[in-house]
Structure 1
Amino acid sequence: MALGHYSDSTRINYLKELRFLFQYYPDIRPSEITYEMTVNYLVYLVKTMGCSRVKCKMAAQSFAFFFKHALNKPYSTPAVLFPAHEHKLPAVLSQEEMRSVLNSIVNNKHRMLLSLMYSTGIRLMEIARIKITDIESNQMRIKITSGKGKKDRYVLLSPLLLEELRFYFIEYRPEIYLFNGAGKGKRYAARTIQHIMQTALAKAGLSNKNYSIHSIRHSFATHLLDHSADLQAIQQLMGHNSINQTVQYLHLSTKRLQSIVNPYDVIMQKSTNEKC
């Protein structure tokens, strides 16, 4: 799996799902497990355990890896077992809500974490991995190394945030990683960052909204679009493989929608003018 450049989380999840499969068939050697057995196990997950589509898909993908790379056998993911994927637009904070979240945070390190996420649109694991050497202040950019899909890219460095980061650096003196976790030179845990976000949402009175740490990323892209940023530029900053991933933010840009003239208003206004 290391040779295939799989992420740490993918390796952990695949091994976990395979262990569950082997435990389900305790009297069968892993090398003797058949395709039909994996399908029966997936049916068990769906029908008996009521597992989600994401869980079942992860299990099927781990089985496909095991069959192809360990058993040297073909494996076709039985997609018919999974309910149709329901496409929902992501939750996006308004600019006022985002400001309230950031202003609710007293701890400077926590505030810098979420501020940097909002000003760059980077993912949760990407901010945890940012190293001090990734900050290129002369070029006003940050290098994201081995992001999703093991790809490198550059993101924006806000001039205002750069000044705040300098004060943060003087106060906390981080080592190696920009944000140290339990000890010097160690990175922040993803779960801790998620907890920081949930606490800030509660303080800002937004805990009843369907917001998460990933909502910051969606908000960044949507607010860029609100301020007339180019779609291709947003795609590059977000690290999207396809422009189709970026197009969804057109549906979330309230400023863009509010600028559209309703055809009903046009014909009724014309009718009113004719009467006058």
Structure 2
Amino acid sequence: IYHHGKKTVTPFAVNALQRTSDLMALGQYSDLTRKHYLNELRFLFTYYPDIRPSQITAEMTLNYLVYLVKTLGCSKVKCKMASQSFSFFFQKVLGKPYKTPPVLFGAHQKKLPAVMTPEEMRTVLHTVTNIKHRTLLSLLYSTGMRLSEIANLKITEVDSKQMLIRITAGKGKKDRYVPLSPLLLNELRLYYIQYRPEKFLFNGAGKGGKYAPRTIQRVLEMALIKAGLQNKHYSVHTIRHSFATHLLDSGTDLQAIQQLMGHQHISQTVHYLHLSTKRMQKIVSPYDTLMQQQQP
């Protein structure tokens, strides 16, 4: 029996995890997805230590999901991730059918994501004195990039001649282009002269290595504290939401925003209509129209 931290993993489980990892690598799944799937499968295998992974049934995975919720108090998001990893293992590794429990995708309350006001975004950027950190946050807001995308952005993907930034293998393994702001280009040049990054636009502690996503999150957290916005629960993804919402407020059409955000379906972009306060403020109530049309 092999030990992984405090969890016991049998040789059969080790082989199953390795096979899963190999097939995910072949399918070019992202490193983060591979990490999540393998962790969830490892937990499942240690929950049934006396049963070979190939003999685990769909009913057993359902019982495990119930255990996650009732005993450990796990969220629906956690259970969805676990179920998706089981689906991959059953279908791709074992060649067996697997159906994700429909109840995981049942009706639930949808909370609108937080969005910074333009004034808040300006305050955050103005409070950052470190040129590397300010350039990083400015680039996030200027492009709407995801956390993983800016962490993996390479110097060669910034095209100052065409004023475009190529985002390679974003979510869904799709490349896309976003405009490069002329004002931001000046700041990028000053940053480059001072820091001389190698390969990745934002290097971490190691030479030529990329900035860790957690470090990027920490940069924003410190900026929010300086700006007095630490209680707003803003995140790096909030900047992405703010980018799309502010574009909509300024009159950019939904299809253009869809392309910039890298959304596969327009339905993913439509929800920003609910976040656009300027759009809501322009709406005239039918009551006002009715009253104004009343004859004296």
Q: Determine if contact 1:153/1:237 at 8 Å carries over to the other structure.
A: yes
Query: Does 2:119 correspond to 1:92?
Result: no
Query: Does 2:186 correspond to 1:163?
Result: yes
> How far, CA to CA, are the matches of 2:104 and 2:269 in structure 1?
29
Query: Does 2:231 correspond to 1:208?
Result: yes
Once the two structures are superposed, the pairs formed by residues 22-171 of structure 1 within 5 Å of their partners are: 22-80=45-103, 84-171=107-194
Aligned to 2:38: 15
Aligned to 1:190: 213
Q: Determine if contact 1:42/1:81 at 8 Å carries over to the other structure.
A: no
**Farther-moved stretch of structure 1 (202-211 vs 92-101):** 202-211
**Farther-moved stretch of structure 1 (84-93 vs 56-65):** 84-93
Query: Does 2:262 correspond to 1:236?
Result: no
Once the 2 structures are TM-superposed, how far is the Cα of residue 18 of structure 1 from its aligned partner?
0.7
Once the 2 structures are TM-superposed, how far is the Cα of residue 144 of structure 1 from its aligned partner?
0.5
Once the 2 structures are TM-superposed, how far is the Cα of residue 97 of structure 1 from its aligned partner?
0.4
Once the 2 structures are TM-superposed, how far is the Cα of residue 29 of structure 1 from its aligned partner?
1.5
Letter in 2 for 1:28: I
CA deviations over 1:234-256 (Å, ceiling 9, x no partner): 11000000111111111111111
Aligned to 1:246: 269
TM-score, reference length from structure 2: 0.89
Q: Determine if contact 2:113/2:241 at 8 Å carries over to the other structure.
A: yes
Once the 2 structures are TM-superposed, how far is the Cα of residue 73 of structure 1 from its aligned partner?
1.1
Once the 2 structures are TM-superposed, how far is the Cα of residue 184 of structure 1 from its aligned partner?
2.4
- Give 1:179's match in structure 2, choosing from 198, 202, 206: 202
Letter in 2 for 1:252: L
> How far, CA to CA, are the matches of 1:192 and 1:81 in structure 2?
32
> How far, CA to CA, are the matches of 1:147 and 1:232 in structure 2?
18
Question: 2:84 is paired with a residue of what secondary structure?
Answer: helix
Once the 2 structures are TM-superposed, how far is the Cα of residue 198 of structure 1 from its aligned partner?
1.3
Runs of 4+ in structure 1 displaced over 6 angstroms? none
Q: CA RMSD in A?
A: 1.3
- Give 1:4's match in structure 2, choosing from 27, 44, 65: 27
TM-score, reference length from structure 1: 0.95
Structure 2 unaligned segments of length 5 or more: list them: 1-23
> How far, CA to CA, are the matches of 1:270 and 1:232 in structure 2?
36
Structure 1 unaligned segments of length 5 or more: list them: none
> How far, CA to CA, are the matches of 1:248 and 1:77 in structure 2?
26
Once the 2 structures are TM-superposed, how far is the Cα of residue 151 of structure 1 from its aligned partner?
0.5
Once the 2 structures are TM-superposed, how far is the Cα of residue 110 of structure 1 from its aligned partner?
0.7
CA deviations over 1:82-133 (Å, ceiling 9, x no partner): 6633222111000000001111112111111110000000100000111111
Q: Determine if contact 2:247/2:257 at 8 Å carries over to the other structure.
A: yes
Q: Determine if contact 2:80/2:104 at 8 Å carries over to the other structure.
A: no
Q: Name the structure, 1 or 2, with higher relative contact order (CA <8 Å, separation 6+).
A: 1
> How far, CA to CA, are the matches of 2:73 and 2:107 in structure 1?
15
> How far, CA to CA, are the matches of 2:52 and 2:242 in structure 1?
49
Once the 2 structures are TM-superposed, how far is the Cα of residue 267 of structure 1 from its aligned partner?
3.2
Once the 2 structures are TM-superposed, how far is the Cα of residue 81 of structure 1 from its aligned partner?
5.2
**Farther-moved stretch of structure 1 (203-212 vs 238-247):** 203-212
